[in-house]
Structure 1
Amino acid sequence: MAQTIISLDNIDITFRQKNKMIEAVKNVSLTIDKGQIYGIVGYSGAGKSTLVRVINLLQVPTAGKIIVDGDVMFDQDKVQISTKELREKRRDIGMIFQHFNLMAQKTARENIAFALKHSPLSKEEKEEKVQELLDLVGLADRSESYPAQLSGGQKQRVAIARALANDPKILISDESTSALDPKTTQQILALLQELNQKLGLTIVLITHEMQIVKDICHRVAVMQNGQLIEEGSILEIFSHPKEALTKDFINVATGIDEALPKIERQEIVQQLPENAVLVKLNYVGSSTDEPILNRIYKQFNISANILYGNIEILDNTPVGEMIAILEGNEESLEKALVAINASNVTVDILKRGR
């Protein structure tokens, strides 16, 4: 059975701003299991970064309960641990950010070593530790480079190594790939995934991009206006999103939001025949292996013109979507749509011919 490492119960965070009360986080509860990569997705102002800062009490909530690695950190409206205990607990929680936060006048090696300033390790042990971390993040050959001599991806690798210096159990990544190009983003995500598997590191990943969550997370929470609106495994969320915002995020991540306007401009769609429908099909798991469109052609004499298709592997399970024009006589068409639904394929009718 999975062991919970972070538990946030009924967290409220309220700020006073110019005689006005701002509810940044409203009654949010979530649990994160040890060794999980947990994504928190939302647009700017959703409250995701504010929420995550309560994990190490950089942000003290107004109300709620926080348990980290078995220790009650905060309950109701009071911090439950001493300043010394909090300092020790924060050593177990590494953080990386969008803008790296490296010291410009220190080399990569010195930036990492700075995190060990208060470590009980000897000088030799610290040097050995820094070298291990440089090797771990693939920067052994850039140890004497200054931040200005490093690419964005290399700077983030230094920041990750620094965050790992005190052997944390939890790593918080706050929009850590937002300043990077797509290729470098993929490399950093692959590194985080490798660290998760190699070190058993629990990673809390904050982002406004569902694409990033899709690539490496086990579970995902979606936030909007300070509230948690949807939460589940990556497979559940992608195959059966409930909220409109979640669906929007997924459409961006899969590319269908870009494809659909182009499809709608095609003459064949604009002049859709009377006996045709434009449909979006969503399918999960074994249904992706079934020749469903071939079957409805044989069974109902319904032709299918595929205009768009996409398939992802999420948590070792195929998840796909397709946009197609189905055409045939009215009665057969309705029977075919029922048959597709019965094959564990979700059918959304986007347009009917007139």
Structure 2
Amino acid sequence: MSETIIKLENIGVRFNQKNKVITAVDQVSLNIRKGDIYGIVGYSGAGKSTLVRVVNLLQTPTEGRLVVDDEVFFDQGNVQLSAQALREKRREIGMIFQHFNLMSQKTAAENVAFALKHSGLSKEAKEQKVKELLELVGLAERAENYPSQLSGGQKQRVAIARALANDPKILISDESTSALDPKTTKQILKLLQELNERLGLTIIMITHEMQIVKDIANRVAVMQDGRLIEEGSVLDIFSNPKNELTQDFMETATGIEEALRKIHQQESVRHLPAGQELVHLKFSGNATGQAIIHDLSKHYEVTANILFGNIEILDHTPVGELIVILSGTPESLSKAHAGLKESGVGIKILKEG
């Protein structure tokens, strides 16, 4: 197992606002391992951006303990590093944002070079590094273009190159794809995944879209009202979300929410006859290779009408779900339920005739 690179212990962040105390982060503990692509998900106001700003102490916590790469950053109410040491440590943590934060009067190359201002490299070494970074993000031919001449995806690639200028061990992405169209979002996520694998970067993804996490992360934390409500591997969270908010996120990300809305409008579902039931089946790993529908008919004399199906790969493991109408006698349906569960298939009855 990879070693921990970021350890947040009982982190709390409170603000005084108009004679009130606002708790932005409430006793959150997380361990992020080296090489993780770690998603932190929540709606606006959940506290996720505030929590991640604690990692490089752009936001000083009110309480708790922070350890980054075996160095204690914060403990017992105080920052444990000198101002100089903190500046040096921050160079090891790159950040990219939703709106790119590029300087409009500087070219792509100059924007990247700006991050090397205090690096101590010679002019020639800086120029070579900028060239290599722009090549790394696929923008070598755009070095002399200004931000106004670049698309949103290209601007974000410049911002990523700039964030990598000081060879960080950690890259924080704060809603970095929110301003991009779906196709460009997938391209940027693919780039981040490649950088994670090629450079061994630990990436923290802050987002309000579980789809983003599903596409790229290996672990995920879900936040609500400043609290951590669920945390685990992407496979575990998607296969078995325990919290209601997490289930809502999952249903949106997998498309099941929209599918169910349409399914419930169908005449055959609205007037489900006796001996039929609408069920949601979920399966992962070895269960995805089983002939589930065929077995229902063969072993239990239950027929299945498939209304929706989806299968995808999460962290190298196939995960699937089906919405079906099962038809049979009460006894055969009961036996089918037991057989499905025994095969590792999750079953939820949505409606009975």
What is the TM-score when the length of structure 2 is the normalising length? 0.99
The CA distance in 2 between the partners of 1:34 and 1:239, in whole Å, is 24
- Runs (5+) with no aligned partner, structure 1: none
Task: Look up the match of 1:26.
Answer: 26
**For residue 104 of structure 1, what is the amino acid of its counterpart?**
S
**For residue 273 of structure 1, what is the amino acid of its counterpart?**
P
Question: How far off its partner does 1:69 sit?
Answer: 0.5
Deviates most, 30-39 or 287-296: 287-296
Question: How far off its partner does 1:100 sit?
Answer: 0.2
Task: Look up the match of 1:71.
Answer: 71
Residue correspondence of structure 1 range 1-354 to structure 2 within 5 A = 1-353=1-353
The CA distance in 1 between the partners of 2:271 and 2:172, in whole Å, is 51
Q: Cα deviations across residues 237-295 of structure 1 (Å, max 9, x unaligned)?
A: 11111001111111111001111110111111112111000000000100111112211
The CA distance in 1 between the partners of 2:288 and 2:273, in whole Å, is 28
Q: Cα deviations across residues 119-141 of structure 1 (Å, max 9, x unaligned)?
A: 11000000000000010000011
In the alignment of these two chains, the number of paired residues is 353
SS in 2 for 1:265: coil
The CA distance in 1 between the partners of 2:104 and 2:190, in whole Å, is 26
The CA distance in 2 between the partners of 1:151 and 1:296, in whole Å, is 52
The CA distance in 2 between the partners of 1:87 and 1:232, in whole Å, is 32
**For residue 79 of structure 1, what is the amino acid of its counterpart?**
V
The CA distance in 2 between the partners of 1:135 and 1:189, in whole Å, is 17
The CA distance in 2 between the partners of 1:7 and 1:337, in whole Å, is 43
Question: How far off its partner does 1:209 sit?
Answer: 0.5
Question: How far off its partner does 1:145 sit?
Answer: 0.5
Q: Cα deviations across residues 201-257 of structure 1 (Å, max 9, x unaligned)?
A: 000110000100011101000000000000001111111110011111111110011
TM superposition outliers: structure 1 runs of 4+ over 4 Å: none
Q: Cα deviations across residues 83-126 of structure 1 (Å, max 9, x unaligned)?
A: 00000000000000000000000000000001111111000000
SS in 2 for 1:54: helix
SS in 1 for 2:264: helix
- Runs (5+) with no aligned partner, structure 2: none
**For residue 223 of structure 2, what is the amino acid of its counterpart?**
M
The CA distance in 2 between the partners of 1:93 and 1:209, in whole Å, is 23
RMSD: 0.6
The CA distance in 1 between the partners of 2:227 and 2:289, in whole Å, is 38
The CA distance in 2 between the partners of 1:299 and 1:36, in whole Å, is 43
Question: How far off its partner does 1:16 sit?
Answer: 0.4
The CA distance in 2 between the partners of 1:273 and 1:297, in whole Å, is 19
Question: How far off its partner does 1:300 sit?
Answer: 1.8
The CA distance in 2 between the partners of 1:134 and 1:296, in whole Å, is 55
What is the TM-score when the length of structure 1 is the normalising length? 0.99
The CA distance in 2 between the partners of 1:293 and 1:228, in whole Å, is 38
SS in 1 for 2:10: strand
Deviates most, 285-294 or 83-92: 285-294
Aligned sequence identity (%): 69
